[in-house]
Chain A
């Protein structure tokens, strides 16, 4: 009866609160409406004749009450209540289907077993508890996400677990449903590739709480892992390769372990390490003998009682290139330095140093040229001619020997073409050569003194800085310790360019102490300028490290230094046709992003070219993927590639320009079923907790899973809603109004009033 009269149950009126739909100014207008009515009511008291005062009061009361009912209705009264909805809320449950679910937990068994036990259609406690209060939607996720009917669809075989993508997918799929929240059951092992912020903002704005259940241990008690390997993408054949290896371990502090590095079963390096607590990084020089795309295997010996052995081995790819690097050495006068540098690299099949030497005024001698036309008119005056080289060595060449246009071109050679520039010392170099106010000073890694000191001539004993101890160009022996010792025993050289300062961001590699008061002299410094490198080596006779009587005939220091220095200088010099891969290793079904830069002979962008990536499997089968021009970067072409079969693959890019097909060098990558799932496989509690906290959900460990349903119940937005109920049309108001008007009419009749 109450609900018939008042539209809503009595509990709503007990728990709710009244509000008006009218705004404050509308409410403020009500007195203006009431005032004339009150005037009319008061008019009854002024009526003369047969009407008595008591009648007028009763009639005015009845009329006033009727007006009050009307005004109440007009004020759009509302009842605000938080009410349990009659239908059940929907809960999305996201289940990790990656390979790392096969890892065992000392207490719970494997992570996958936990999911099966909890969500089994017949015996799963969690499933049963959730189904009592909520309507469930199940999803499995790995690299991709899909809706599933039950856990029979899980096989824990995905090589990746993209949690961000999974949550976005579930949110989009369940849009419009009364969603109580999302439940994620995962180890959250991999760091998300995409930033979390966008997802968290979306979840917060849609008021979708995420409840994450973390599987596995957040820190293994006993494990050793190769966390990271850093190698250059490409090196020249015969170059020393520096491998940076990061090792993480728990439970084996101070114990020895063997690190083995192999290339196609050939041992490249083997050493015993003493394990330090937590993380440790080591830099290892490697000499790779074979050319082409290489896959290096890094292995750590298995330790006693180790929890995860699969993460003791890791692969890293690099390409050993056998191309010829062309270097232009420009000298303003005949110097022995040129002779001995050319001699040092003469046996290096990958380095070709072409010398351009001014022998007299306006007379040049060319040495090491490939054709009679090369450098025929002296130092190049066109981009095509200059950019054919990979690096420039600038010897004792006075500033006036290079025009402004040529110097600008050298700047572009470094910054745009990505070439290397090596500035040697000499009586016509740096400030002494008039470069203090030149554009080449702008790209130099050193700050040239304001004033030339032509009389300066100093014997310098060169010392490597800490940066040089592990620098690939400056390691002169098998180990850093031996290398440092070798540096300190090298004979002194001479310097005629006193430079003491390097530019911010530049790296000082070699120096020579001056005295107790002043900064040391800069003997070698470098920095990156645009896409290329610039090195200053302001000494004038490094050839003494070859000729000096203290240097043994068999000593290879001078040769090694120059080979390594020139190789390192051109190490990252881009070619006209490049291919970059987003990863060296992906899981089956994963997507690898391909990016190619295509340049013309003058290294300007090649637009509107037909560019394809060609993927070659080990069986020789090829697959071509057209690459599309980047919308905003001229000369850049991109595409995605999904690989369905595990194995070794070679990728290269193919340019079809005017019917002429050119292919880039090959890059190797690996497709595995596991991807990197066994690495960093401890439960990523930080990630799971952050997602839960920032979406107003909760994080639980596997052992705390029984708290999930209660948390969902108390915080579920889908089952309880804030209701604003209109009260103006309650039947009680209509009945009350009719009753009041009838009462007035009856009273008038009874009292024979008009």
Chain B
């Protein structure tokens, strides 16, 4: 997907450095909390779809950062669906935040993409570990192939050296908490989605088989949900594009809402 929209990345690259930190939480100040100017961010609504800002190995942050792929349209579109289909009191806009920001802990559900290029600093490793052990829930999305997996794995082993990454079984509540997801399907990016309608492949690189994997805590609770070889974010972002196949965007919304409700109840 990022290959097809370089102009878009360039555009937001110019804006994001200034907005990156401020954008994360300033929305709350615009929310109706005027009665308490010192109100901490994140309390005007129950749920903020929060996107993690991380350091990248190739440091293309100046170009907008890999964390910001599909941002913020995917977030906005997902929130529209979430608010329409559930009764979650969700903040209607995006909310990106750096992993090392102390306010990250105000948002117990975190979404991060393109983590195949993630290269965490020591401070980010510590912050992420503490966030998860304190009770945070992290959903990874949109990274493809063995090369990206290896990079991602190296990063997660810094966060949790002793915790295994395992396949999440189909009977796990995360697949049934709101919608019954019987089968994990591969959600393609915009270009592959067009191609798939004409018999083309849906995968990128060598990421042929989609996986939903997880990292569990000592009590068997799912802390990290890893969507590998799939791109939910693109499906949300292009759900309004008539050329993007409906079945992929529908599935992406369904499983995305499941992730959120699971993260809020387990």
A: which residues have CB within 8 A of B? 332-336, 338-340, 342-343, 346-347, 355, 357-361, 363, 365, 367, 427, 455-459, 492, 494, 540-541, 543-544, 546-549, 551, 553
Contact = CB atoms under 8 A, between A and B. Distances in A.
Contact of B39 (A358, A359, A457, A543): A457
B43 A455 contact: no
A458 B40 CA distance: 9
B85 interface: yes
Contacts of B263: 339
Given A459-B43, A546-B135, A335 B264 contact: yes
A360 B264 contact: no
Interface in B55-113: 85-89, 102-106, 108
Contacts of A363: 178
Contacts of A358: 87
Given A346-B219, A494-B43, A361 B87 contact: yes
Contacts of A367: 173, 265-266
B134 interface: yes
Contact of B87 (A332, A340, A549): A332
Interface in B167-195: 173, 177-178
B261 interface: yes
8 nearest A-B pairs in the assembled complex, by CB-CB distance: A549-B102, A494-B43, A334-B264, A458-B36, A549-B105, A459-B39, A457-B33, A547-B105
B130 interface: yes
A88 to B, nearest CB: 87
6 contacts: A332-B87, A339-B263, A360-B87, A360-B178, A367-B266, A459-B38
B214 interface: no
Nearest to A332: B87
Nearest to A361: B87
Contacts, number: 105
A19 B35 CA distance: 95
Interface of B: 32-33, 35-36, 38-40, 43-44, 46-47, 85-89, 102-106, 108, 130, 133-136, 173, 177-178, 219, 221, 260-261, 263-266
A541 B261 contact: no
A548 B135 contact: no
A455 B32 CA distance: 6
A355 B130 CA distance: 26
B108 A458 contact: no
A459 B86 CA distance: 27
Given A339-B266, A553-B133, A457 B40 contact: no
Contact of A359 (B178, B221, B266): B178
Nearest to B43: A494
A547 B36 contact: no
B108 A547 contact: yes
B8 to A, nearest CB: 32
Contacts of B38: 459
Contacts of A458: 35-36, 39
A346 B221 CA distance: 11
A546 B133 CA distance: 10
A365 B133 contact: no
Contacts of A494: 39-40, 43
A358 B46 CA distance: 14
B46 A334 contact: yes
A334 B102 contact: no
A574 B210 CA distance: 53
B261 A334 contact: yes
- Find the residue from A343, A359, A361, A456 having the highest chain B CB count within 10 A: A359
Contacts of A546: 134-135
Contacts of B135: 339-340, 343, 543, 546-547
Contacts of A541: 43
A328 to B, nearest CB: 15
A551 B134 contact: yes
Given A457-B39, A547-B136, 10 more contacts: A333-B87, A338-B264, A343-B221, A346-B219, A360-B87, A365-B177, A365-B178, A427-B46, A455-B32, A492-B40
B32 A359 contact: no
Contacts of B133: 553
Contact of B108 (A336, A347, A455, A553): A336
A459 B36 contact: yes
B86 A334 contact: yes
B36 A427 contact: no
Given A333-B89, A365-B261, A367-B265, A548 B105 contact: yes
A736 B86 CA distance: 122
A357 B263 CA distance: 13
Nearest to A496: B43
Contacts of B136: 547
A346 B218 CA distance: 12
Given A334-B264, A541-B43, A457 B32 contact: yes
B32 A339 contact: no
A292 to B, nearest CB: 28
A553 B130 contact: yes
A335 B43 CA distance: 12
Contacts of A543: 108, 135
B88 A334 contact: yes
A163 to B, nearest CB: 61
A153 to B, nearest CB: 69
- Find the residue from B43, B44, B130, B219 having the highest chain A CB count within 10 A: B43
A342 B40 CA distance: 24
B219 A334 contact: no
Contacts of B89: 333, 427
Nearest to B136: A547
Nearest to A428: B89
B81 to A, nearest CB: 12
